[in-house]
Structure 1
């Protein structure tokens, strides 16, 4: 049977979809047809800009509301949803984008205001509306930009002085406007005018003043006055007029914590006064809680980042609010600086603070039923128990269990065993216990509550799992992880896995062993004993019980919505060092002074030793999301990874290697089915690699809004990449000398071993989840070459691929 190509697949999909949607609208068809025939309004088919030498068309397009119908993948004039609307007589698709002259007039005003915000005060914007075909309208915005004005000097009038001699000057000099100094409050600027820059500087001034005691400062306390500089053409002078008001201190603090059951009865109280809690005994911290809250008073007082009697600092006040929120075991009912009103009472020298909190439910159980696709199709179930605030200091204990079952077809199994005739069911199980505290514990407790570390979390994770894989099974994987997590800012985070231990017991599948023995055969010793060939023994070492330890630091930077992924960027970089804990035990405890290269089984439970490897592993992951229209996104991702054994080690643990393929990786290949190099799956003797390079691109565009509660996206994607053996991999295959070279990374050949897959996809985007369907073609199959593999590889996933 001939496999359908991409065009046939898309045509069949569209035909079925049109037929299905049309069946949803059996009524009022004649009325809609008549309405569409009577409607003769002008349709906007082109929107153009002229005269905009300094501002790009793309920027102006985002400003105006006069638009054409949606263009598929931003291809000019290619509007298939509008075409479907015409072909269906208005039953479905996208209605025409009719001309609205009032909208055009509003667009002229928007463009004018935008130019003026950038210093083009002499800009003139007009429009030309022309009918270039019957009922087809072109709207042109004609722009005369004029000169861009520049800011010559900036002066700060009324800025208060401080006890520290240079504090005011150093702060003002750090401003984005400040270049050269004229005097203590006036600076040269010499940069284009920008209303956004003026607003940013205004907010910087307000924040600085509020963090240095001037609590009553508001937006109208700092006003930017702009005047034309008569000594230079197209130049401006800016003066910030500042009225800071008086300085204030923090007053008394009151914190109240209630439980979840009414009525509220604060039956436990505590009062803190004097150092180190307050500056002196005239100030107090009053703590109230219900016994049902099952929390300690110290938990409440430890979150306070300021002391009564200290100079007012608004940033510390807001960070304290975040500290309470980050505990995770309560929510804030109210926080204020006036018990009865919204605004603080600025007639007093001290500003009191009030926090009203309520605990969350202590015990909870949740379950989930999920679908999955890895090698085949499967389902699973999970259950989680959570104990919130275990010991009264906001500790969280979560215990989870899940199991999944996956049906794998004979065609997939045949890739590693040509004699496979029956399907198989792959199983996996996992048990986890996660204990976390909302603070940094030893040895980093000294960083807790310091700027940039106030949201620290220490997490202890214990896990046990087993799973069936295509090439090998994981009989057991016991892991322990001690991790520190810190959100330094809304965009920057750090993760330190100080101790990550894994005890892994794996064994290759029977089909995998059979193929290896058929290939390598056996050796006969001098005494006549028949043993596995040396090469086979080397391969099987990968599947011996192993212990691995890792110290890993990961830095993450992002400014995107992790569900929608429709703007901004995401990046993650990590460095890991592995094997040092087993090495120290081997060299100094089990066999002092002698390096065995393995450890005895824990507690003598087995005669099998535990092998280990020392290695360093680096990875970098960068993703970028560009809005290409109001309903379209272009996304790309680059990934690179490198792992290198050192010391006496020549390989890294099996569970720490790089693998390629899968619905979240290079679509078109199943997990573990790509690489190393151009070695086919049925010839892979050493799974995984030490080097990985990958690049991904995807274009997504909405074509149906709010149908079945979701927005429907059409997608077009392309993935490329592979994995390779590293330079220290010492395996030698006497039966096939070039096998290792075909899998080893070489600068003069790796680009020929880049696998490429691409195809169309469908996304169903609900508010909190995205369901993904991808139809991948192997554009560059490393075994059959470019565009020779016509098979379609279906991928299903939850969430965007990247």
Structure 2
């Protein structure tokens, strides 16, 4: 509903999503980076020969069990056990079925007067609650928890969490087709009750043409991890973007930009210290990208080409993080439609 011309409120009382993962035995065929890491550890400790590979799925799954649930090989290091545990946790989270029964409320305040307005602000807020109604119903029905201490509906442990997103965009017109545009974003999803993690479809990622353009989508974070997974996601996100847009000639426009942000795990079941937001000191793990772009305005849409360079890379951890890969070789080349914010 619309209380005023600038304000929009929206409420979804029932938002239901069921995710059933098929062919989970092919997990390591799809997530090759995780398999390569697991296979390298198995070779290093002599679990398999130096020229052998774990079979998929039996060999890889048995190795996970032997390291985590059985008696770990004597020559495996604590760091290697932690890596195997991280791979196992991620596999469990990405292959489990999800039932999401959510209610959400969205608020938007848009001060833009028309499509050609270059001096305006937009504030968006969203709150989502999932699983509370199902928890009440299962308890009223006297349903018992499964062996993992979770309630199930139709044989699936439903998700329970609270998620909030805050998004603020501001444009300043500098005259002569010059615009300074800024965006800030905060998102946090907290699992509780029937869940210890956030479903993949409701988690946050970083990088990409509309986020931090010095990293490809899903390739940044969480925290100081080195992005060895194909799809990196977490339940806490901070992002800040600023860019100066200016006209070159005709319909060609240019831009200089700085993107900052990262994702972390917080208040969930992830134990990897490199991925967890600990306290305000974790803000030092924010990734910073900088770059420039060329855009062509077709009037009804904008074709955008941006080049992002890694200025501050948190994956270098305790080393110097500044300008290690600030070059065209390690740059990310983005093609997008319309402006990123």
Scaled to the shorter chain, the TM-score interval is 0.7 to 0.9
Cα distance change, pair 757–747 in 1 and its aligned pair in 2 (3 A): same
Aligned pair partner of 2:122 in 566, 570, 580: 570
Q: For 1:116-515, list aligned pairs within 5 A.
A: 486-506=1-21, 507=24, 508=27, 509-515=30-36
Equivalent residue for 2:254?
714
Match of 2:282 among 732, 750, 754: 750
| Structure 1 position 749, deviation (Å) | 2.2
Runs of 5+ consecutive residues of structure 1 not aligned to the other structure: 1-485, 602-608, 706-710, 733-739
**Contact 2:99–2:157 (CA under 8 A) maintained in structure 1:** yes
Specify the alignment match of 1:704 in structure 2. Answer: 249
Query: Following TM superposition, by how much is the alpha carbon of 1:535 offset from its aligned partner in structure 2, in angstroms?
Result: 6.0
* Cα displacement string for residues 623-642 of structure 1 (whole angstroms, at most 9, x for unaligned residues): 10001123100011111111
2:218·2:231 contact (CA, 8 Å) conserved in 1? no
Match runs of 1:490-569 below 5 Å: 490-506=5-21, 507=24, 508=27, 509-515=30-36, 517-518=38-39, 519=41, 521-524=63-66, 537-542=88-93, 543-560=95-112, 564=116, 566-569=118-121
Higher RCO (Cα < 8 Å, 6 or more apart)? 2
* Unmatched runs of 5 consecutive residues or more in structure 2: 43-62, 73-80
Instruction: Measure how far apart 1:746 and its partner are.
Output: 2.4
Match for residue 724 of structure 1? 264
Deviations 1:156-189 (A, max 9, x none): xxxxxxxxxxxxxxxxxxxxxxxxxxxxxxxxxx
**SS of aligned partner of 1:494:** strand
Q: TM-score, normalised by structure 2?
A: 0.77
Q: How far has the Cα of 1:678 moved from its partner?
A: 0.9
In the other structure, the counterpart of 2:158 is 612
Aligned equivalent of 1:788: 324
**RMSD of equivalent CA atoms:** 2.7
Aligned equivalents of 1:723 and 1:754: distance in 2? 8
1:800 equivalent to 2:339? Answer: yes
1:572 is paired with a residue whose SS is strand
Alpha-carbon distance, 1:600 to partner: 5.2
Summarize the Cα distance change of 1:741–1:540 in structure 2 as closer, same or farther, 3 Å threshold: same
Q: 1:594 aligns with which of 144, 147, 156?
A: 144
Instruction: Rate the CA distance shift 1:581–1:687 in 2: closer, same or farther, 3 A.
Output: farther
Larger radius of gyration: 1
- Pick closer, same or farther for the CA change 1:565–1:549 going to 2, 3 Å: farther
| Alignment match, 2:76 | none
With over 3 angstroms needed to count, the CA separation of the structure-2 counterparts of 1:765 and 1:642, relative to structure 1, is same
Matched residue of 1:583: which SS? helix
Residues matched between the structures, number: 291
For residues 423-451 of structure 1, the C-alpha deviation after alignment (integer angstroms, 9 at most, x for no partner) is xxxxxxxxxxxxxxxxxxxxxxxxxxxxx
Q: Aligned residue for 1:771?
A: 303
| Alpha-carbon distance between aligned partners in 2 of 1:535 and 1:703, rounded to the nearest angstrom | 48
- The answer for the alignment partner of 1:659 in structure 2 is 205
- Provide the rounded CA distance (Å) in 1 between the counterparts of 2:307 and 2:252: 16
Give how far 1:647 is off.
Answer: 1.9
Give the CA deviation at 1:704.
1.2
- Report if the CA contact (8 A) 1:495-1:554 is conserved: yes
Q: Residues 627, 742 of structure 1: CA spacing in aligned structure 2 closer, same or farther, 3 A cutoff?
A: same
